[in-house]
Amino acid sequence: MATVIEALQQKLTQQLDCIYQGIDIDMQTSELAAQLIEIMRITEYCQVVEPFANHWSEKDIIMITYGDSILKSNEAPLTTLAKFIDSYFNCINGVHILPFFPYSSDDGFAVIDYSSVNEGLGSWADISAIASKRRLMADLVINHCSSRSLWFENFIKGEGVGHDYFFCAQPDDDLSQVVRPRTSPLLRPTETANGLKHVWCTFSHDQVDFDFSNPKVLQEFVTIIRQYLDAGVNIFRLDAVAFLWKIVGSKSINLAQTHEVVRLLRTLIEHAQHDAVIITETNIPNTQNLTYFGNANEAHAIYNFSLPPLLINTLITGSCLYLKRWLMSMPPAQDGTTYFNFIASHDGVGLRPAEGLLEEEEIKTLVDTMEMFGGKISCRTTETGEQKPYEMNIALFDALQGTTKGKDTWGLQRFLCAHSIMLALEGIPGIYIHSLLGTRNDYEKLANTSHNRSINRHRWDFDQITAELSNHASEHAQVLTEMTKLINLRTQQVAFSPNATQFTLHLGLQLFGFWRQSRNRKQSIFCISNISDQVMDLPISELNLIITETWTDLISGQEITDLTETIALQPYQTVWISNC
């Protein structure tokens, strides 16, 4: 054990040397490394770290939800959520509960107190109860906290814990290169006991950014990580981590120190709990996003942010040109890493990850179509001062209610087609609770908050949604039934393991397909979707299926007896043709 700890301390010291190079901190990095080991209680929990280990399988599906997405009178929302999951989502083995802490804005992402559960949601006991049955994913809101936090109050007072936690700059500093997804002023003037300070705010003036050049901030977050592990958190979502390190005069995004902090957190977490996972939330262009894998020593998983806009574009245009081109360019994730695939979440559909992948005209058509289906568009200010669409805010079920030609009758089929593609792709699927329930745009909440993202953050009344799900003719019941069927099929196929082999098929622009093969090479699945509103013929002979094996479409259950036949795929129909 002593040798393991010594090696760990040496590794952490090297990482801290990289992070704080050129910065005068009040202790030796070796001393800081020892303190981090103590905070994480690694001497008590130290586990053998197997390099390049995959702590996931085809059975892993993560459901994304707010703690209060389902509400019942006189019951803590987390208690209601747990009951609802047990009743309706038994096909799901993981849950991402979005920030469940006291907060002041941004639906939880302006955290007031990281160590407490929002009393309006429940308690740590409720969190641990959910974690006892499923893998629990929680947010580490690491870039910023609420301006109403005790830490920021102490910053204003100039004393106490947090008084030196926040990053400040000067209005006359060169901040022209800073990349951020908001149009509000970057600096927040704040009167403090030490005079007027200008606090860096990447997102809003209620979300004040931390200064990680102060090691106390790092120590604070390592303390938070240990508490979350103790509560049963198994997956850490590093929110907005790309903006973590700031340097005046730079873009202050994706800096080398940020990557080193991610590497250090992975080192600490995997030594404390070997199967815990880090997922980086970096809503940035695809090539930048991929760098957060490092050499299988940074994020275990990265959000596949380019998938949502490309897949929606494919289904509304009836052409898979851009989706196929992107898929062919994506490197297979090496062992120890994987993709986190999603097509809907609590946020909107980001457009920056489509930059360089979709033509400007394609993006304009996509934006116009989403507006036609009732969506809202959020913009950012570019380096030249131009207003540019940054995010499309719309419920996925509404986003897929038609094509560029307008709404049609294929909405449900198109919606299910999107998920049949996502569920089969290399990586771990993340499914938003409102996609499982077929929730529509919430215009009432949008009007009440005036925040575009509210359109896709509906809160269901427990009795209302259970009544809808009991009515087999309701749209919501149909969505859940079909989604459950797809999920159950996926979790039974070893060829859908997140790191199983994947190759893109070339079947024209209206048929999107790829081939998955299990790592033991025993199972092959050809995943082919008609992404158009017309019947399309699929010549089985083009798949070169092995004639000595029996092939079956897993979704329909139909056996393919003639390998020379042609299958007529209905609009938005998907087949998963498997040999076992």
Binding-site annotation, residues for substrate: 106, 144, 237-239, 346-347, 453
Question: Nearest CA to 221 among 239, 204, 203, 199?
Answer: 239
* Catalytic residue status for 537: no
Question: Nearest CA to 314 among 369, 380, 250?
Answer: 369
For residue 427, the surrounding DSSP H or E stretch is none
| Integer Cα distance of 147 and 103 in angstroms | 10
Catalytic residue among 60, 68, 239, 553: 239
Task: Check if the beta carbon of residue 295 is closer than 8 Å to that of residue 336.
Answer: no
Reduced to 3 states, what is the DSSP secondary structure of residue 286?
helix
For residue 13, the surrounding DSSP H or E stretch is helix 2-19
Task: Check if the beta carbon of residue 428 is closer than 8 Å to that of residue 498.
Answer: yes
| Integer Cα distance of 413 and 407 in angstroms | 13
Reduced to 3 states, what is the DSSP secondary structure of residue 304?
coil
Nearby residues of 470 by Cβ (< 8 Å), 6 or more positions away: 477
How distant, in Å, are the alpha carbons of 149, 166, 207, 210, 243 from that of 214?
18, 9, 18, 9, 16
Could you list the residues known to form a binding site, using ranges: 106, 144, 237-239, 346-347, 453
Q: Tell me the Cα Rg of the chain.
A: 24
How distant, in Å, are the alpha carbons of 307, 356, 363, 383, 389 from that of 353?
8, 8, 11, 17, 12
Placement of tokens 């700059």 in the chain:
169
| Integer Cα distance of 273 and 225 in angstroms | 11
Q: How remote is the C-alpha of 276 from its chain's centroid?
A: 16
Task: Check if the beta carbon of residue 112 is closer than 8 Å to that of residue 102.
Answer: yes
Question: Nearest CA to 358 among 311, 392, 308, 322?
Answer: 322
How distant, in Å, are the alpha carbons of 91, 257, 302, 481, 498 from that of 491?
9, 38, 21, 16, 11
DSSP letters spanning 97-129: E---S-BSSGGGTSBS-TTS--TTT--HHHHHH
Task: Check if the beta carbon of residue 380 is closer than 8 Å to that of residue 181.
Answer: yes
Question: Nearest CA to 573 among 525, 513, 524?
Answer: 513
Nearby residues of 188 by Cβ (< 8 Å), 6 or more positions away: 147, 198, 199, 200, 201, 205, 208
Reduced to 3 states, what is the DSSP secondary structure of residue 441?
coil
- Strands 511-517 and 524-530 turn out to be antiparallel
- Strands 387-393 and 349-350 turn out to be antiparallel
What residues are labeled active site? 239
